[in-house]
Structure 1
């Protein structure tokens, strides 16, 4: 069986190659691709140094990103540097870079999800007390029931006195250290 790409005809009587059937990209499509690559470059510029280290960049591209990070974002030079990064990306296979960026975005989304779950657990304990504590203990038996009840009582007292939410913050830190990883 011969491998055919999406641009080839499906009849076996074809005497020309798939490259003959590729149409040149329209001007609009070229602009969209260029804008997407420039956006990819801008996303790389906004990464932390640790995150950027996980992206497979060649020296020229890494230098261009480093220069962009030093330029004031409100200056015209920053925009031109982003365009230059986009130009460099157009002349490279960006598949590995895009995969690395997708992994970072997925990791970030997972961290956000975990953070929101901890916030919800804290909120439930603060508002519902024993009911929420029991539900949480069924999922996370490593938690200390007495400690959770103590936090609930302290939070309730702080609310009554309109005191700063010290116990509320401590409860979050306890949940984060015990079940948040």
Structure 2
């Protein structure tokens, strides 16, 4: 029942153009979901029935088939109520803000590491003034070992350990979290090593 109300002159239904804009918006939202890593996707309140479609869209790499799968995912997403889609959008916005803060903290950890290796005790004093909970002795030993590794062309074991210590120090503060045991997991260490390379 399209058209206008004879008495008020208002449209009786949403226009086709608006329907198309809404559909394209949901398609873009689906593309964002497909581009997320599994860890990021776990933080988004995606309904269980959409997860297999997202996984399938990630699996398919052929261009046209991927576009077709994204359209299929968007079709299923349009069946969800507006509150669910809004919750997904809000979580993605929060994730992007968190990701930006996390990346900034990791860059700061790299900067502090370079300062510690270059300036030694001066940089360490500045770091401790900003982060008094840092372990002075551990950092001093790691800096000394990293400098010796560089001088002898050895593998950068202590260099990486400095990064891990700084990462575990700076990241919780940047995200507004308290340091937890999960920050020192071996899995996290492997992730940060690959991120710094």
Residue aligning to 1:47: 36
How big is the shift at 1:41?
0.5
Q: Greater shift after overlay, 118-127 or 141-150?
A: 141-150
Match of 2:50 among 30, 51, 61: 61
Match of 2:155 among 157, 160, 164: 164
- For normalisation by structure 2, the TM-score amounts to 0.66
**Kept in 1: contact 2:105–2:167 (CA 8 A):** no
Q: How does 1:91-130 map onto structure 2 within 5 Å? A: 91-92=79-80, 93=82, 94-130=85-121
**How has the CA–CA distance of structure 1 residues 174 and 56 changed in structure 2, closer, same or farther, with 3 Å as cutoff?**
closer
Task: Write the distance in 2 (CA, Å) between the matches of 1:54 and 1:147.
Answer: 34
**Kept in 1: contact 2:44–2:91 (CA 8 A):** yes
Residue aligning to 1:150: 141
Unaligned runs of 5+ in 1: 1-14
Task: Write the distance in 1 (CA, Å) between the matches of 2:47 and 2:164.
Answer: 40
In terms of fraction of residues, the more helix-rich structure is 2
Residue aligning to 1:174: 165
Unaligned runs of 5+ in 2: 1-6, 172-178, 180-197
Match of 2:66 among 46, 54, 78: 78
Q: Deviations over 1:27-76 (max 9, x none)?
A: 5x76655443222112212334454344334454344324323x422253
Residue aligning to 1:87: 75
How big is the shift at 1:111?
2.0
Q: Does 1:37 align with 2:37?
A: no
Task: Write the distance in 1 (CA, Å) between the matches of 2:50 and 2:134.
Answer: 48
Q: 3-state DSSP class of the match of 1:73?
A: coil
**How has the CA–CA distance of structure 1 residues 146 and 59 changed in structure 2, closer, same or farther, with 3 Å as cutoff?**
closer
Task: Write the distance in 2 (CA, Å) between the matches of 1:157 and 1:54.
Answer: 42
Provide the aligned C-alpha RMSD in A: 3.1
- For normalisation by structure 1, the TM-score amounts to 0.70
- Higher-Rg structure is 1
